[in-house]
Structure formats: structure tokens, C-alpha cells
Amino acid sequence: MNRYQLCGRVLLLGGLTVQTAFGQTGTVNARMDKTAESLEKKVVAWRRDLHQHPELGNREFQTAAKIAAHLQSLGMEVKTGVGKTGVVGLLKGGKPGPVVALRADMDGLPVTERVDLPFKSDARTEYNGQQTGVMHACGHDTHVAMLMGAAEVLASVRNDLRGTVKFIFQPAEEGAPAGEEGGAYLMIKEGVLENPKVDAIFGLHINSQTEVGTIKYRPGATMAAVDEYAIKIKGKQTHGAAPWSGVDPIVTAAQVVMGLQTIVSRNLTLTDNAAVVTVGALHSGIRQNIIPEDANMIGTIRTFSPEAQQLVHRRINEIATNIAESAGAKADVKINVMYPVTYNDPKLTDQMAPTLEALAGKNNVKLTPAQTGAEDFSFFQQKVPGFFYFLGGMTKGKKVEEAAPHHTPDFQIDESCFVLGMKSLCHLTVDYMELANKGVAVKELTASGK
């Protein structure tokens, strides 16, 4: 039995203490917990079905149909085809209050599953011209199943809800296919945060290398902004035996690669935030005795603040352009801005962390270092206060080194984490509504990672 069951709950709100009576939020949370526990088998079955039938970004047709049917069966107002295949359900509570959005992403990845499971995916497709398996190798199947469960739980207490819940099932978190728009960005563009206007948004990500029962989060910059770049070095082709009669793009590219290393090591304020500049591919030449005309490189940039992002962009341009010029070559630099920083509104995070602590136990809710992976939940957080956290999905006692990371063929999730995941979404929703009812909930961005 935890402290909350014994005596209700105390929220510390930046000096302001709010006693939540056991008779109000407490009983709603307790009723929701029972329902969540009773739904466990159903949620596991949904997840296994989704796992066995994964779909790539912007192609989540069957997934969306299953979600829409479920939300409709709960008597919700349901919109489909939002941002291509997105599904949005609206649950109006019995009492007036804020609009809380809960988000789950739906897409699988071009990865061939290697785990031996009865519900292993045999799906195959062509991706970027290659034949590949399709797999829920990031656990988005678990996100969908848990949010479908949370929808059923919250619908069961709808008369007691002090506000509205918007369930956002989002396509293409991992990126839309080439030439297509998609993901959170497109859903927002199509108005998902309006009508009714969302006051705050919550989302979780399963983690294959964090033990079941543990929740991790970080206030402020949590996951990196990601941008990609391409640099083309144009030299002058010549015979490999007479380099003096040409301009060697390979030697120039090598100098650029080394120059790029100095951005993080010499230019960034490393005590503020980490950053990464990676060269992911470098192609040039065809034969041992030809100095080719050009060299091409591509890479990824990860930063945690707009200042760092701007600095890295500027330095990539300066380094590539000036090194090329010093060699008599020319550099063409293109930078494609992709996902912003996943930025947990600090005040909202402060307000909601006690909810997770009351639910999972204080020792099981931990601060996590910033992660250099990216997440397009960040687009929602640019518009409304948002809180994104990580749910442990690794079997207790397993060694982290033995648990396969996300995006790999051996990726696996322990389903015993689903009940905690469902409860966390439901408690955040109800507790946020309670705070709004008391007039203290964060409804506008208090800072942003823009």
C-alpha cells in the first residue's frame, strides 16, 4: 500500500501546497486503477495483434481502423484521416474543465524481426528500393495498445471527469516516406490541437533497457533536435599520377571531416548541453589512378538548444566553405531542419512529476540524462505545454547490455509494464484536471525549446 492510498495526496506546486481530498481525485484514480488492471489481458491481446501486423509511417491503415472502431465503441466522437492516417477521439467529461491531449504514435520500422515470439511479425515490404521486413522495433505497438486501454479506462469514469480528453493516435513518428509530409507536424497543421483547443499534452515512450516498474523523465530539453546535412566538395578531375594538375576533392573532404570534429570539441559550450555532429557517409571516386571531380558527404546533427543548433549550422557552413576554398575547391552545403528539441515544459513537469511518484513509488521515478535520439512529440510541445516520459519495458533483473536497443531486430518489450503505463496516462489526465479546477494548472508555455 502506498502513501497515497493511506492518506490522500499532497501536491507541492512551487511553494503552494494543495491537499487533494481522498474523496475526489483519489476515488476516481482508485476506480481507474481497478479498471486498468481488469483490462490488462485485452491490452496485451491488442498489442500482440498490432505487433504481428506492423505498418510503416503514413501507411497505418489497419492500425487506424482498429483504433477508430475501439474509440467509437466507447461512444466517442472520432475523426479519422487526420494527418494522413491519424485518428483523434474526443471524450467529453461530465463536468467542465481543460482539454488534455494524450498521444500515441502508430508506425513500425523497416526492420526484420529476429525475436522468436508467437506473434512475431512476418510482414515484408519494399523500402527505399530494398526488400525488408516490417517490425514494431520502437514499441509504438505498445503505445497504441496502452492508449486504447487508457481510453477505455477514462471513458468508464467520464461522468466524473472535469474536462475533455483528446486521444491523438499519430502516424509516421519515425518520419514520413520521401516526398510526403507526416507525423505530429502534419496533424498540427491540420488542426489537431484546436477545436477544442488543447491546454496540455502528455505522451510516453516505452524503453527496452529500463526495468518494468520504473519511469524516467527530465524537465526541459529531454531529447535532441535533429537536422541532416549534405556537403558536396567540387574539385577538378585529373590523372592520379599528376595531382598538381587538378584539385583533389578527397583530400579536401578529409580535411572537412576533421574540421567538423572541432565544432563540438572547440565551439560549443559543453557545460550547457551536449551535441553531436556525425558524418554518416562519404563517397568519392571510382578508380585508383583517377582523382575524381567531387566528393559527397551526409550526416546528422543533434543539439539541445536553439543557440547550439544555430552555432552548429553556421560552423558547418564556415568550415566546409573555407576549407574547400583554401584548397581551390568549392563546397555546397545543404542543411535540412527536421525535429525540434523534445522540451518538457519545466513548470508543467514540476506539477506532474508528483503524480508519477504517487503512482509508481518515489524510488521508481528517476531523472534521466538528455538523450541524443529525437522524437516528433516535440512539435506538440512547441505549441502547448507538454510532458513526455519514459516507461520501463525491460524484464526485471535483466542486464541492460543483454536487452536489445530500439530499432534492432532483437528489440523486445516485457508486457507486464502495460498496466503502469495505462494508469500513468489516466492519472496525469485526472490530476491535471484537478489542478486546472483549482486554477493552478499550467496552460501556456512557460519556456520552450524552440
Nearer to Zn ion, 213 or 405 (CB): 405
Nearer to Zn ion, 134 or 231 (CB): 134
Give the nearest distance from C-beta 321 to Zn ion in angstroms.
34
Q: Which amino acid is at 316?
A: I
Chain positions 395 to 414 lying near Zn ion, rule: CB under 5 A, are: none
* Annotation says 401 is catalytic: no
Nearer to Zn ion, 223 or 316 (CB): 223
Catalytic residue among 217, 339, 343, 432: 339
Chain positions 131 to 160 lying near Zn ion, rule: CB under 5 A, are: 138
How many residues of this chain interact with Zn ion, rule: CB under 5 A? 1
- Site map (CB under 5 A) of Zn ion, residues 87-126, x = contact: ----------------------------------------
Nearest to 167 by CA among 108, 104, 98, 83: 104
The C-alpha cell at 181 is 509530409
- How is 243-308 classified by DSSP, letter by letter? GGGSB-HHHHHHHHHHHHHHIIIIIS-TTT---EEEEEEEEE-SSTTEE-SEEEEEEEEEESSHHH
Nearer to Zn ion, 76 or 87 (CB): 87
The C-alpha cell at 316 is 558547418
Catalytic residue among 40, 190, 318, 415: 415
Contacts of 119 (CB under 8 A, 6+ apart): 48, 49, 51, 52
- In degrees, to the nearest 5, what angle opens at C-alpha 81 toward C-alphas 76 and 85? 110
Nearer to Zn ion, 138 or 161 (CB): 138
Give the nearest distance from C-beta 398 to Zn ion in angstroms.
20
> Any contact of residue 198 with Zn ion (CB under 5 A)?
no
Give the nearest distance from C-beta 223 to Zn ion in angstroms.
10
Give the nearest distance from C-beta 380 to Zn ion in angstroms.
15
Give the nearest distance from C-beta 373 to Zn ion in angstroms.
7
* Annotation says 434 is catalytic: no
Tell me the C-alpha distance between 353 and 284, whole Å: 51
Find the residue with minimal CB distance to Zn ion.
Answer: 138
Q: Site residues (CB under 5 A) for Zn ion?
A: 138
Active site residues: 339, 415
